[in-house]
Structure 1
Amino acid sequence: MNASRRLFQLARRSGPAALLGLTLSVATAQAQGGPIPPADIPDGAAPADPLSLAPLLVPEQTDPAALLKTGKSDPAAPRPTEGRPRPGLTLEAKLLDGGPSIPKGVIWRVFAKQPGADGRLPLIQETQGGTVNLPLKNGDYIIHAAYGRAGTLKEVSVGGGEEHDTLVLNAGGLKLDALVGKDQSPLPNLVKFDVFASDSPTTEERAPVVSGLRDDELVRLNAGTYHIVSRYGDANAIARADVRVEAGKLTEMRMFHQAARITLKLVSETGGEALANTSWTVMTPAGETVFDSAGAFPDAVLAIGDYTAIAKHDNQIHERNFKVEPGLNREIEVLTK
């Protein structure tokens, strides 16, 4: 990993050791995601909250589930006065084996084991909560639990009476942010992150697990190694890295962009007014076009390097070579004479 894609990750643990130490390396092991649900199981996120993002709250002592909980009230979550067993199937979800139950925000889906006439597994019931009690007829079912983008499934048999089962999601949380150069904050709303399952050489040719994440958003994922693609602007400023998400932990990763925003102006004299009705192309020394636009003040975030700005105005072509340095946002004037 070169200097243009340095990163660090901080993982917070539960219990007395509230914070894990600073880590300067990135795991490159193969992804170890959770079980893959049948194709007809809907997306794991809640319809009203696609990523179930939550603010980061890390008290002195907490449990893994509290690190990743939502801020919403959840009428389906059990209250202390509701602790007595009830007839039916009681389900609870955990981030990791032996950990505490997730108190809220789990999407539970119950499917019949046998496919219907259309070849799909019929959805019997869907609910949201932490620990839930579902009245089900005797028989075999497939239970799917989703927590953000983390999910798992399990086959269960219901025989009547009070029954209980636990699904272990083997999941953690991931929170991303970025800097420009060594220590500059990027321009607002211009950095996005795509998260890919890092399980093949052609990772980015597949659909991302999560796309368009913003700075400081938190997403829940099955434990494993993920490939992160961070884009600063819409041109060629891209950083890539791998990160490992561990069950029951919140992992933070920072990525560094070596780029800057350039604003282009076609002027008749240095410091003069920008000429309207101008078409622009920015090319690399190898002849690759990285930016096209039109107008008096087009701007783009470009990766560091050498470029040529080509302006077309009144059927005349004007050019200027320029260099992009990390974090140095500036105007580039192209003279008509």
Structure 2
Amino acid sequence: MEPQNWTTVTEFLLLGFSDLPEHQISLFVLFFTMYLINLLGNTIMITLIATDHHLHTPMYFFISNLSFVDMCFSSVTVPQMLINIFSENKAISYTSCMAQLSFFINFNGIEVVLLAVMAYDRYVAICNPLHYPMLMNKKICLCLLGVCWLSGALNSLLHTILMCRLSFCSSNKIIHFFCDMPPLFKLSCTDTSLNELMIFTEGSLFDMVPFLFIIVSYIRIISTIFKTSSVSRRSKAFSTCSSHMITVTLYYGSIFFMYFRPSTSYSLEYDRVASVIYTTLTPMLNSFIYSLRNKDVKVALKRAISEKILQRVCSVA
């Protein structure tokens, strides 16, 4: 076989929303606003949990970490997308593209496992309340958080190594607003079957095992709640668990639509919408879901505002 004249790709073009030139300003304002709300909302949540001793519990410890991961997750993709909307040069170097992909997979993996850990926390709190202080002490919480970060890092390392073994040639145009695996596969001039196999085996297990764990946990939780005679306790349990389930539904719904469906059903418009939901919308909404639907957080926020006002009054006086 004669060698093919391939030109090795050293940079990619993130075309993103370049096919919608008439909506560039609207898209920039929309995504920039969502990103700022994400940063502001999650920063407030982290600060509130860190400074209010009433919120120093395992549940809020994991919520604060979820807020931090949400900020990092969006920061991997959104700033580059905002720059590219108005920039004539939409190029991203090969190294930067692989780095973006690696961090994207990493924070995605952390969030997947963290949502399962949060479900376990609620399961223990509601189904085994007497053993909760022992089963969810500070040491165990730190170990569970370590498992989240280690799992995300190992999953990211695996897929990044497999991606780096691919060669890219000819076209370097990525029909997406960030470096993701499916769009990159389309540009590869080498066999991507191993990469795709790992997505549908290891990737499926990595996402499905935590998801099934969450489902089983909440089946047990709901069963226990219905057996509770106290109306106030039942209402509080439903309120806390419903916030988590809304987050899980939004997050997993968009991921399943994006990655676990036949390639023949690929649609640029629908895939972009799904990507925006789990990279931009869901991280922005999480802080509001856990604050507006949570009585303890609202009380802590009012307390923090009252203390701030009191301090200003005292300083003026």
The alignment's TM-score, normalised by the length of structure 2, stands at 0.22
Higher helix share: 2
Higher strand share: 1
Q: Which structure has the greater CA radius of gyration?
A: 1
The alignment's TM-score, normalised by the length of structure 1, stands at 0.21
